[in-house]
């Protein structure tokens, strides 16, 4: 019987869709029926468990699941015996302190002796201890942002993406406790065959991530400007240069990282590049 790797992902919520999409982008056929808690991939030795986000670190620690996709905030809050093997780049948010919009917040000293409502008491307690602040922590689940408005707390610590929910509840974000994203975690005691399967999965995940962070660029360059343009396009090793049918021109193919893309495109135009095409990359294997 073929050994399978068992992965736990969120059954619903903000990480579910991106987790399933990542597996599918890795070429893994994932089928999840309504209310189904377990499924198997047909084309990769993988069992997928659909669980509550908060339970995933415990399942991985216990070895019920070998690996899991979970938010860093949950991983650190639950403090289980599992460790991060890969940052996945989606589900980005921050665990932040928020106070009333009219409060005169001048620094973390403001929190001294205050009441703080949160669903993340361990992370908040650690943050306050590092800052030398003594405060009263109220652990609540869900709708943390209403706590100041109903007199339960003076401040909150909660996950923030856009900040619109805070604004609607008369709050303002003042400190970041933790920057978070989805991560792949694993059990500490995987066998050699399980580690081999994990390496195969990581190879695919990293190829997908690399592709998302890069663009394939094709352009036409006058030969008298070719060296100047090539200098702007390092590519994976070096750009590919092919002669065009029109004398004095070449076609240049390369890869650009997303974070430098627009700056370099502007420089290419200034250097004389024409007919610039930008194409998404589906997979990128280095």
83-127: pLDDT as tens digits: 999 999 999 999 999 999 999 999 999 999 999 999 999 999 999
| Residue-level pLDDT at 236 | 63
Structure tokens at 130: 């590092």
Is pLDDT above 60 for 1? no
| Residue-level pLDDT at 145 | 92
Report pLDDT digits (tens) over 140-166.
Answer: 988 899 999 899 999 999 999 887 889
- Side-chain-side CA neighbours of 175 within 13 Å: the count stands at 17
Where are the chain's structural domains?
Answer: 5-90+182-211, 93-180, 214-280
Q: Do domains 5-90+182-211 and 214-280 have the same CATH topology?
A: no
Q: What is the pTM of this model?
A: 0.85
| Residue-level pLDDT at 33 | 59
| Residue-level pLDDT at 284 | 82
Report pLDDT digits (tens) over 194-251.
Answer: 999 999 999 999 999 988 888 899 999 999 999 999 988 866 677 889 999 999 999 9
Residue with tokens 């975690």: 185
| Residue-level pLDDT at 37 | 87
| Residue-level pLDDT at 235 | 60
| Residue-level pLDDT at 2 | 66
| Residue-level pLDDT at 142 | 80
Best CA proximity match to 118, nearest among 162, 160, 157: 157
**Could you give the CA distance from residue 154 to residue 116 in angstroms, rounded to a whole number?**
6
| Mode of pairing for the β-strands spanning 67-71 and 182-187 | antiparallel
Report CA 122 to chain centroid distance, whole Å.
22
Q: Identify the CATH class of 93-180.
A: alpha beta
Domain covering 5-90+182-211, topology: D-Maltodextrin-Binding Protein; domain 2 (3.40.190)
* Domain 214-280 CATH (choose: 3.40.50.12280, 3.30.70.120, 1.10.10.10, 3.20.20.190): 3.30.70.120
**Could you give the CA distance from residue 103 to residue 212 in angstroms, rounded to a whole number?**
41
Report pLDDT digits (tens) over 30-79.
Answer: 877 567 789 999 899 999 999 999 999 999 999 999 999 999 999 999 99
């Amino acid at each position: 019987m073929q050994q399978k790797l068992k992965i736990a992902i969120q059954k619903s919520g903000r990480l579910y869709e991106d987790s399933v999409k990542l597996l599918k982008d890795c070429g893994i056929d994932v089928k999840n029926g309504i209310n189904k808690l377990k499924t198997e991939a047909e084309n990769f030795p993988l069992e997928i468990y659909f669980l509550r986000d908060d339970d995933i670190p415990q399942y991985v620690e216990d070895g019920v699941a070998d690996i899991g996709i979970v938010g860093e905030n949950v991983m650190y809050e639950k403090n289980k015996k599992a460790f991060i093997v890969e940052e996945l780049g989606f589900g980005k948010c921050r665990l932040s302190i928020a106070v009333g919009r009219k409060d005169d917040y001048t620094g973390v000293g403001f929190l001294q002796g205050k009441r703080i409502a949160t669903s993340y008491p361990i992370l908040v307690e650690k943050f306050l201890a590092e800052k030398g602040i003594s405060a009263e922590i109220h652990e609540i689940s869900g709708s943390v942002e209403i706590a100041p408005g109903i007199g339960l707390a003076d401040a909150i610590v909660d996950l923030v993406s856009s900040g619109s929910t805070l604004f609607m509840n008369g709050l303002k974000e003042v400190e970041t406790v933790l920057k978070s994203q989805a991560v792949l975690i694993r059990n500490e005691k995987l066998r050699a065959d399980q580690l081999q399967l994990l390496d195969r999965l990581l190879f695919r995940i990293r190829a997908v991530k690399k592709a998302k962070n890069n663009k394939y660029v094709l352009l036409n360059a006058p030969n008298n400007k070719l060296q100047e343009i090539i200098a702007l396009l390092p590519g994976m090793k070096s750009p590919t240069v092919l002669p065009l049918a029109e004398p004095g021109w070449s076609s240049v193919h390369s890869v650009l990282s997303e974070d430098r893309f627009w700056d370099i495109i502007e420089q290419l135009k200034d250097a004389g590049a024409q007919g610039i095409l930008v194409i998404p990359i589906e997979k990128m294997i280095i």
